[in-house]
Amino acid sequence: KLMGRHCGHITMHAAIAASCVDICLLPEMDIDLQKVLDHTAALMKAKGHVIIVVAEGCGDTIVSSGSGETDAGGNKKLADVGVYLKNEISKHFKKLEMPFTIKFIDPTYMIRSVPANAYDSVYCSVLAQNAVHGAMAGFSGITIGKLCSRYVYLPIHAITKQKGKNVDVKGRGFINLINSTTQPDFTPEGFERPSSARDNRTDILDFLSEPASVNSVLHPGDEVRRLDVVSLSNMFTSAAVRNPLRATTFVSSGAWCTQTLQQVNKRAGNAKMYFQMITAGPREYLHFDPAQSSACIVNCGGLCPGLNAVVREIVMMLSHYGVKKIYGCKGGYKGLVTPEKWIMLTPDSVRDIHKLGGSVLVSDRGNPPHSEIAKSLKSMNVKQYFVLGGDGTHKGGMQTFDAMQELEDGPYECSVVGVPKTIDNDIAMLDNSFGFNTAVTEAEKAIDAAYVEARARENSIGLVKLMGRHCGFIAIEATLAARHVDLCLLPEMDISLPKVLKHCLHLVQTKKHAVIVVAEGCGDTLIKSSGGTDAGGNKVLADVGTWLKQELERYFEKMRQELHVKYIDPTYMIRAVPPNANDTVFCTVLAQNAVHAAMAGFTGITVGKVDENFVLLPIHAITKGTRKVDIKGRQFERMMLTTEQPDMSPGPGDDWALLPPPPADKDATDVPAPEHLTEEEIDRLLGHDLMGRPATSRGVIEEEVSVPNAKLKVLNGYGEVLLDRPLQRADIVQAHDEVRTLELARLSERYPSKEVPSPLKTVNFQDDDSWAVQAFSLLDRVDSGKGTPYYQMLRAGPREVLHFDPKDAPAAIITTGDLCPGMNSVIRQLVTTMKLYGTAKVYGIPMGFDGIQKRERWIELTNEMVEEIHMDAGCILGSAHGHKSAKATAAALKEAGVKQFYVIGGDGSQKGAVETLAEMRALDYECAVINIPKTIDNDLPLMDKTFGFDTAVCEARKAIDAAYVEATCNANCIGFVKLLGKESGFITLNAALSSRIVDICLLPEMEVDLAKVLAHCEHLMATKGYAVIVVTEGCGGSLLNRA
- Residues 6 or more apart in contact with residue 119 via CB below 8 angstroms: 437, 440, 441, 481, 582
Phi, psi angles (nearest 5°) of residue 158: -65, -20
| Parallel, antiparallel or unpaired: strands 564-568 and 602-603 | unpaired
CA distance 688 to 682: 9
Say if CB 937 and CB 984 are below 8 A apart.
yes
The answer for 508, left when phi > 0, alpha when psi is -120 to 50, beta otherwise, is: alpha
| Parallel, antiparallel or unpaired: strands 142-147 and 150-155 | antiparallel
Say if CB 892 and CB 852 are below 8 A apart.
yes
Rg (CA), the chain: 35
- Residues 6 or more apart in contact with residue 807 via CB below 8 angstroms: 838, 839, 840
Closest CA relative to residue 474, chosen from 539, 331, 593, 571:
571
CA distance 600 to 286: 5
* DSSP sequence for 305-371: TTHHHHHHHHHHHHHHHT--EEEEETTHHHHHT-GGGEEE--HHHHTTGGGSSS-SS-B------HH
Cross-strand bridge partners of residue 463: 516, 567
- Residues 6 or more apart in contact with residue 41 via CB below 8 angstroms: 92, 93, 96, 98
Half-sphere exposure of 537 (CA within 13 A, CB side): 9
Say if CB 508 and CB 459 are below 8 A apart.
yes
End-to-end CA distance of the chain: 60
Helix (H) or strand (E) holding 719: none
Please confirm, yes or no, whether 424 is among the known catalytic residues.
yes
Handedness of CA 784, 786, 791, 792 (dihedral sign): positive
Crossing angle of helices 581-599 and 9-18, in 10° steps, is 70
Which of helix, strand or coil describes residue 845? strand
Overall size of the chain counted in residues? 1043
Closest CA relative to residue 605, chosen from 586, 623, 585:
623
CA distance 986 to 936: 9
CA distance 86 to 103: 9
Long-range CB contacts (within 8 A, 24+) of 289-293: 289/239, 289/241, 290/241, 290/244, 290/318, 290/321, 290/322, 290/323, 290/599, 291/322, 291/324, 292/239, 292/383, 293/323, 293/325, 293/383, 293/384, 293/599
Half-sphere exposure of 490 (CA within 13 A, CB side): 22
| Residue among 391, 424, 486, 655 flagged as catalytic | 424
CA angle 1021, 1022, 1028 (to 5 degrees): 15
The answer for 306, left when phi > 0, alpha when psi is -120 to 50, beta otherwise, is: left
Single-letter amino acid, residue 394:
H
CA distance 28 to 21: 18
Cross-strand bridge partners of residue 712: 725
CA distance 385 to 314: 11
Handedness of CA 425, 431, 435, 440 (dihedral sign): positive
Please give the positions annotated as active site.
424
